[in-house]
Amino acid sequence: MHVKSKNEAQDILSAIPGDDQRSRSHKRRRCICLSVTICVFAVGLLILILALTVFKSKKPVTTVDSVVLKDVNASVNLIPPMVSVNVSLDISISVKNPNKVGIKYRNSSTAVRYKGKDIGDVPIPAGMIGGGDTKQLNLTVTVFVDRLATDLDIYGDVISGNLPLSTYTRISGKVRILNLFNIHVVSTSTCNLKIDILNRKIAYQNCHYKNRL
């Protein structure tokens, strides 16, 4: 029977990890986990600060720069009752993107209304507005008010020579913040007009703007 020497036994015992080594290994793993957690928290905090300050999403601003009466023709027949009106408007709209990043907007439109009823519209194709840029939209819309032949108000308005119309533009899109998440934005503008049919001009114009996230 072979009996191990005292030195050999000590070598074997020293090769077995002791409580001290296990404790050091546990502390090292805990330090690594803590360091990773702190780094992830710091990066998340930095992203949050940037998202709330430098890259905070702002509402686009839609402004109607001008509405110009391009053409107007009107006629009224009493017997048989019939009204015929067509109006062409040149509408200049600017959309400003105050964000540091671009806004991608969907297919939109500008509608022309008579007392709340849509009588004409012009499409605005989807597009992109770069950070800090302003996009100019020049639109021409022709409306045929004879679509409202059953509306008795139209007869009185045409005979009086003052035709009340309004334009409504709605542009909706999204802002992508730090390539992580999207913020949806909507910008609308409404202009109330009064067309002087006899003098072929816009006698009154008042515009309102509304922007929201």
| pLDDT tens digit sequence for 75-134 | 777 777 677 788 899 999 999 988 888 889 999 999 999 888 888 889 999 999 988 899
| pLDDT tens digit sequence for 16-49 | 555 566 676 777 777 777 777 777 766 666 655 5
- Provide the sign of the torsion angle of the four alpha carbons 20, 21, 23, 28, taken in this order: positive
> Measuring CA to CA, how many Å separate 151 from each of 14, 27, 83, 159?
102, 84, 10, 14
| pLDDT tens digit sequence for 49-76 | 555 555 566 778 888 898 899 888 877 7
Give dist(CA 62, CA 96) in Å, integer.
6
Check pLDDT > 70 for residue 162. Answer: yes
What whole-number percentage of the chain has pLDDT above 90? 20
Mean pLDDT, the chain, rounded, equals 78
> Averaged over 183-194, what is the pLDDT?
89
Check pLDDT > 60 for residue 152. Answer: yes
Task: Write down the pLDDT at residue 156.
Answer: 83
What residues contact 26, with CB distance under 8 A and at least 6 apart?
none
CA dihedral in degrees (107, 65, 167, 165; nearest 10)? -160
Give dist(CA 91, CA 65) in Å, integer.
8
CB 142 within 8 A of CB 120: yes
